[in-house]
Amino acid sequence: MKISRARLLPSSWQKPQSSILFSESNFKVKYIKSEKDKVMSYQLRHRIFCNELKWVPRREDSQEVDSYDKDATSIGVYNEAGNLVSMVRIIVSDNTFMLEKEFPFLLEDGYNLRKERDTVELSRLCVAPEARNATFADNFGLHVISMLLYKGVYHWCLANTVRYIYMVVEQRVYRLLCAKGFPCKLVGAPVVMPDGVEAVAAILDWREFEMVNIVRRPKLLEWFSRYQSSRPTKLRQQRGSDSLHQAFS
């Protein structure tokens, strides 16, 4: 594995002026900054990654925390009651990616891992089980909760001039992301993990996302580009949803 770093861009990241990125229907997409919000995020991660998936050992305090949290930015989706229902962690290129330390075996031999200023890694993406079949409708269509999270990441990336995002996902999730309008590219062959899950490492180019969807899914792109939809409606529950709620590493 080779690491490509840029030296021309400053290693400074825009600090949020407000904790809230945007509001949508009855949800708020916001930075996880306060101690209360951090505890909620660690508890949600413990539910998913320790209890449900068993990727990480359980902890007595029921909070899943690791060394990557110290310098990471986390974004969450909160419902009307103020409960955290979905979250993702963003690791910037100044810091070590999980692909470098935890998952280098998912990269093809000789792959040039981007560590430029325009590249980040997503991890710990998850949706609470009770919110996975929830959808909400607006004048741009019907959306699942995880789409609010992706929209939040998109706006964070725009504010910080980030173009590329790495992720480690199930191969099934990778295919679903591509089918839903996120043109991810594999950076290595699928690997069967100890729990039997077939995992892949992928990279998404936001500029390609825009170019593809301005033609194929203009409503999706317009919705992504707006901070708030103009006609919020009630939350719905859908059965058997092929939603993008599955966890990221």
Please, are residues 207 and 213 in contact by the beta-carbon 8 Å criterion? Answer: no
pLDDT tens by residue, the chain, 249 residues: 655 544 333 344 455 556 888 988 889 999 999 999 999 999 999 999 999 888 889 999 999 999 999 999 999 999 999 999 999 999 999 999 999 999 999 999 999 999 999 999 999 999 999 999 888 777 777 888 999 999 999 999 999 999 999 999 989 989 999 999 999 999 999 999 877 889 999 999 999 999 999 999 999 999 999 875 434 334 444 444 444 445 667
Residue pointed to by tokens 């998913």: 48
Task: Say what the pLDDT of residue 242 is.
Answer: 44
**Residue 220: which residues within 8 A CB-CB, separation 6 or more?**
140, 141, 181, 213
pLDDT tens digits along 7-60 = 333 344 455 556 888 988 889 999 999 999 999 999 999 999 999 888 889 999
Query: For all residues of the chain together, what is the average pLDDT?
Result: 86
Tally of CB atoms within 10 A around 106 = 22
**Token reading at 7:** 């030296």
Top-tier CATH class for 17-230:
alpha beta
Task: Say what the pLDDT of residue 247 is.
Answer: 61
The SS3 call for residue 235 is strand
Task: Say what the pLDDT of residue 141 is.
Answer: 78
Domain boundaries of the chain, sorted by first residue = 17-230
Q: Global pTM?
A: 0.85
Report the alpha-carbon distance of residue 235 to residue 213 in Å, rounded.
Answer: 25
What sign does the dihedral 63-67-56-60 (CA atoms) show? negative
**Token reading at 111:** 């792959």
Task: Say what the pLDDT of residue 55 is.
Answer: 83
The SS3 call for residue 49 is helix
